Amino acid sequence: MKSGQKDVDDYIAGFPEDARVILTKLRKVIREAAPDASETISYQMPTFKLNGNLVHFAAFKKHIGFYPTPSAITAFAKELASYKTSKGALQFPYDKPIPYELIKEITKFRVKENSG
């Protein structure tokens, strides 16, 4: 993504078609799981906010990054065992199916966390 993107539509539009399809579906899944969240660009990536940062996502050369905070990574450690993770980040490689249902569940977990 080029710096200076003002909104999520601009961010998604800046990628090749294959990444745009995934990013668009990911955005839809997050919206379904967090209908009251607002979206913005933060840290140069799409960010959903609900009582603070909820989740972020981004496209890279070989993977989609999903950033649901360390608490979500810990809570879903078993389900995420086959993915590359770090303290607050997940990597979903383009050559494997994106686990949209799991992303939805993680986002719902974050909604509960931020609403409690």
Write out pLDDT tens, residues 69-97: 999 999 999 999 999 999 999 999 999 99
Residue 1 within any structural domain of the chain: no
Asked if residue 115 belongs to a domain, the reply is no
Residue 76: per-residue pLDDT: 97
Q: Is residue 116 domain-resident?
A: no
- 91 bridge partner residues: 65, 84
Band of pLDDT at residue 4, cut at 50, 70 and 90: low
Question: Is residue 2 in some structural domain?
Answer: no
CA–CA distance, 111 with 15 (Å, rounded to integer): 28
Give residue 97's domain range.
Answer: 8-110
Q: For the segment 25-67, what is each residue's pLDDT rounded down to a tens digit? A: 999 999 999 999 999 999 999 999 999 999 999 999 999 999 9
The sign of the torsion formed by the CA atoms of 91, 97, 101, 104 equals: positive
- Type and span of the H or E element at 106: helix 100-115
**Phi, psi of 106, rounded to the nearest 5 degrees:** -65, -40
CATH number at residue 43: 3.90.1150.200
At residue 104, the pLDDT reads 99
CA–CA gap between residue 88 and residue 68 (Å, rounded): 6
What proportion of the chain, given as a percentage, has pLDDT over 90?
Answer: 93
Q: How far apart are CA 46 and CA 74, in angstroms?
A: 22
User: Which ranges constitute the DSSP H helices of 5-99?
Assistant: 8-13, 17-33, 70-75
